[in-house]
Structure 1
Amino acid sequence: MKIGTIGTGFIVEWFLTAVEHNENCECLAVFSRKEETGRALADKFNVKKVYTDFEEMLKDEEIDFIYIASPNSLHYSYALKALEAGKNVIGEKPFTSNVRECQELIRLAKEKHLFLFEAITTIHLPNFKRLKEKIGELGPLKMVQCNFSQYSRKYDQFLAGESPNVFTTKFSGGALMDINVYNTNFIMGLFGKPKKINYFANLAHNGIDTSGVLIFTYDGFYAEAVGCKDTKSHNMAQIQGEKGYMLIEGETSRCRQVEIHLNDREEVEIINDQEDITALYYEMKDFLKIVEAKDYDACYKLLDYSLSVCEVMEAARKDAGIVFDADK
C-alpha cells in the first residue's frame, strides 16, 4: 500500500502509527487545506509530500490508496473522487452519512474493481474475534449492554454557542455517528442485523444528538447501546447468557480485555490477545492481508457488512427524527 491521507486530526496520527507498525505499507503524502498543518503532520511521521490541492494528490501515480479522515459529511465526496480517479480507498467511520451514499461508493468500487474499506476498529480486534468464538459458552443470551461515553471538549464550545463539526447536522455529526457507531459494530459484528432498532436521543436545539440509547431487538434477547458526548461514564460491554456472562472492559473501539464468568466455574477466564499498539493496527493488518491476496470477495463481504450497519444507523436516526443536510 502506498497511501495518501486526508485530514490532520488525532485519528490520522493513530492511523499513521498503525502504518508504521505494519509491513508493506507506507504513507507517501498528506493532504491538508493548510500547508502548515499538513507539513507539521508530515514532519512528525517522516512523510515526504504535502498537498493542499486534493486533485493534485489524486494525480500522483505513486499513490494507490487514499485514507479519508475528514469531517463525516465529506467522507462520501472524497471517496467518490478517489475511486473515480482509480485509487483504492480506506474511509474512516462512519463510512458515509447515509445509505444512498454507501450504496453508490460500493457500486463504483465494484465497477472499477477497486478496494474500498471502512476503517472501523472493533470487528478487526483479536479480542473481539476471540469472544465471538467463545460466546456460545454463555448459553441462550438474554441481554447485551454497551456504554461508550466520553465528554467532548467540543461540547463546551457547543454550549458556548459555537458550532463544532461534530455537533452539527451539516457535517453529519452527533453521538450516534461519532461514538455509538462503535457499540453498533460491536453488537452487529456479533449478532448481525436486528429485527428492530429504536433510538432514544437527547437532541439539542439544532436537532443533533449529544447522547442517546439504541435498543436492538433480536430473537430472544435485547441489546442496549449507550453513547454520550455530553457526559462521561465507566465504559464497558457485557453479554449475559443463562450459563454466564462476558465483561469487556473499556471502550468497544478497543476491547482491551475480555473476562468470561461461567456459572459452573469459579475461575474467571481472561482473554487478551492484543499488543499495546493503537487499535487501528489490527484493521490495517486485515486490510493488508486482503490486498496482498487480491481477495476482492473478502473486501466486498466487508462492504456488505458496512452497508448493513449504515442501514441500521439511518433507521436509528429516522426513529429519533435526526436529519442531516446530506439527506436532503
Structure 2
Amino acid sequence: MNIATIGTGVIVESFLQAIEQLEGASCHAVYSRKEATAKKLADQFDVQTTYTDLTAMLEDPDIEAVYIASPNRLHSEHATAALKNGKHVICEKPFTSNVKELEALIALAKEKQLLLFEAITTVHMPNYHLIKKHLHQLGRIKLVQCNYSQYSSKYNQLLAGETPNVFNPEFSGGALMDINIYNVHFIMNLFGSPEQVRYQANRHPNGIDTSGVLTFTYNDFIATSVGSKDTSSMNFALIQGEKGFIHVKNGANGCEEVLLHVDNRVISLNAQTNPNRLFYEAEAFQHIIETEDHEQCYGWLEESLSVMKVLEAARKDAGIVFPADPF
C-alpha cells in the first residue's frame, strides 16, 4: 500500500507512525499548501516527494491511496478529487459535512470500483471487538453512557475572539463532529440506528457547539453521548445490562481497557498491544486494499452513512447549520 497524505497535523503524524509499522506499506508523498510544512513532515518520516499542487499529486501514478486529514469542510472536495484520479481514499472523521456529500462520495467510489474508508479508530480496536464478544453476558441492555471530553488547545483562541477551524461553522467544526463522533460510532456499531436522537449543546455566538449531550432512544434502552471541547473530564464508556456492566476506561476513542463486571467479579479484558491507536485501522485498511475486499468496505460505508445521518439529525435538532449543508 503506497499512500500520500493531505494535511500535516498531529493526526497525520500518528497515522504515518502506524504506516511505518506495517509491512508492505509506505508513504510516497506529502501534500501541503505550503512547501515548508510539507517538507517538515516529509523529513520527519523520510518521505522523498512533496507537493504543493494537489492536482499534480493526485496524478502521480505511484500513489495507490490518499489519506485525507484536511479541515472537515474540505474532506468531500479532496476525496472526490482523489477518487476521480483513481486513488483509494482513507478520510479522517468526520467523513464529510453532511449526508448528501457522503452519499455522493460512496456512489463515486462504487462507480470507479475504488475503496473508500472513514478513519475512525474505535471500531477497529481489538478491545472493541472484545466488547462485542462479551456483550451478551450483560443481559438486557438498559443504559449506555459515553463521555469524551478534552479541553481544546484552540478553545482559548476562540475565547480571545479568533475563530480556529475546529470551532468554525465554515469548516464544519464543533464538538459533535470532532470529538463526540467517536461515541456515536461506539454506540451505533454495537446497537444500530436509534429510533430518535436529541442534541442539547453549549453553543458559541458564532453558532458552533463547543460541547453537548446527545441522547439516543432505542426500543428498550437509552444511550447518552457527551462530547466536550470546552471542558475536561474523566473519559469513559459504560454499557449497563440487567446482569452486569462493561466499563471502558479512558473513553471510546481508544478503548484502552475493558472491565467486565458480571457475577460479582471484575474481569479485565485487553487485547491491544500497540500504543498507537491508529495502527489497527491502518492495518485493516491495508488488508482490504490488498485483498480488494469491496464487500467489507461497503459494509463499513453503510455504517458510516448511518452515523452521518444521526449526526445530521442531531445538528438539525440543535439548530446547528454549516454553509456546506443543503438544508
TM exceeds 0.5? Answer: yes
SS at structure 1 position matched to 2:197: strand
| Mapped pair 1:185 → 2:185 | yes
In the alignment, residue 326 of structure 1 is paired with which amino acid?
A
Aligned-residue offset at 1:251: 2.4
Q: Which moved more, 1:222-231 or 1:292-301?
A: 292-301
Query: Structure 1 CA distance, aligned partners of 2:217 and 2:38?
Result: 45
Aligned-residue offset at 1:277: 2.6
SS at structure 1 position matched to 2:169: coil
- Structure 2 unaligned spans of 5+: none
| Mapped pair 1:310 → 2:315 | no
| Mapped pair 1:82 → 2:82 | yes
Q: Which residue of 2 aligns with 1:167?
A: 167
In the alignment, residue 138 of structure 2 is paired with which amino acid?
L
Q: Which residue of 1 aligns with 2:297?
A: 299
After superposition, give the CA deviation of every residue in 1:111-166 in whole Å (9 maximum; x if it has no partner).
00001011000000000011111101000011000000000110000000001000
Question: Among residues 261, 278, 281, which one is paired with 2:279 in the alignment?
Answer: 281
Q: Which moved more, 1:87-96 or 1:286-295?
A: 286-295
In the alignment, residue 270 of structure 2 is paired with which amino acid?
N
Aligned-residue offset at 1:205: 0.2
In the alignment, residue 178 of structure 1 is paired with which amino acid?
D
In the alignment, residue 297 of structure 1 is paired with which amino acid?
E
Query: Structure 2 CA distance, aligned partners of 1:120 and 1:21?
Result: 19
Percent identity, aligned pairs only?
A: 57
Q: Which residue of 2 aligns with 1:240?
A: 240
In the alignment, residue 187 of structure 2 is paired with which amino acid?
I
Question: Among residues 294, 300, 320, which one is paired with 1:322 in the alignment?
Answer: 320
Query: Structure 2 CA distance, aligned partners of 1:28 and 1:288?
Result: 15
Aligned-residue offset at 1:284: 1.1
In the alignment, residue 169 of structure 1 is paired with which amino acid?
P
In the alignment, residue 324 of structure 1 is paired with which amino acid?
F
| Mapped pair 1:223 → 2:223 | yes
Query: Structure 1 CA distance, aligned partners of 2:274 and 2:116?
Result: 27
- Structure 1 unaligned spans of 5+: none
Q: Which residue of 1 aligns with 2:36?
A: 36
Query: Structure 1 CA distance, aligned partners of 2:30 and 2:310?
Result: 33
Query: Structure 2 CA distance, aligned partners of 1:284 and 1:8?
Result: 17
Aligned-residue offset at 1:21: 1.1
Query: Structure 2 CA distance, aligned partners of 1:239 and 1:39?
Result: 45
Query: Structure 2 CA distance, aligned partners of 1:101 and 1:185?
Result: 19
After superposition, give the CA deviation of every residue in 1:195-227 in whole Å (9 maximum; x if it has no partner).
111100111101100000000111111000000
Q: Which residue of 2 aligns with 1:22?
A: 22
Question: 1:189-200 maps to which residues of 2 (within 5 A)?
Answer: 189-200=189-200
Query: Structure 1 CA distance, aligned partners of 2:316 and 2:274?
Result: 38
Aligned-residue offset at 1:309: 0.5
SS at structure 2 position matched to 1:173: coil
Aligned-residue offset at 1:291: 1.6
Aligned-residue offset at 1:64: 1.0
Q: Which residue of 1 aligns with 2:157?
A: 157
| Runs of 4+ residues deviating >2 angstroms | none
SS at structure 1 position matched to 2:240: strand
TM-score (norm 2): 0.99
Query: Structure 1 CA distance, aligned partners of 2:198 and 2:129?
Result: 27
Q: Which residue of 2 aligns with 1:207?
A: 207
Q: Which moved more, 1:287-296 or 1:131-140?
A: 287-296
In the alignment, residue 109 of structure 2 is paired with which amino acid?
A
| Mapped pair 1:269 → 2:264 | no
TM-score (norm 1): 0.98
Question: 1:1-12 maps to which residues of 2 (within 5 A)?
Answer: 1-12=1-12
Query: Structure 2 CA distance, aligned partners of 1:219 and 1:123?
Result: 23
Query: Structure 2 CA distance, aligned partners of 1:270 and 1:116?
Result: 35
Query: Structure 2 CA distance, aligned partners of 1:276 and 1:303?
Result: 26
SS at structure 2 position matched to 1:118: strand
Query: Structure 1 CA distance, aligned partners of 2:288 and 2:39?
Result: 31
Query: Structure 2 CA distance, aligned partners of 1:26 and 1:276?
Result: 19
In the alignment, residue 218 of structure 1 is paired with which amino acid?
Y
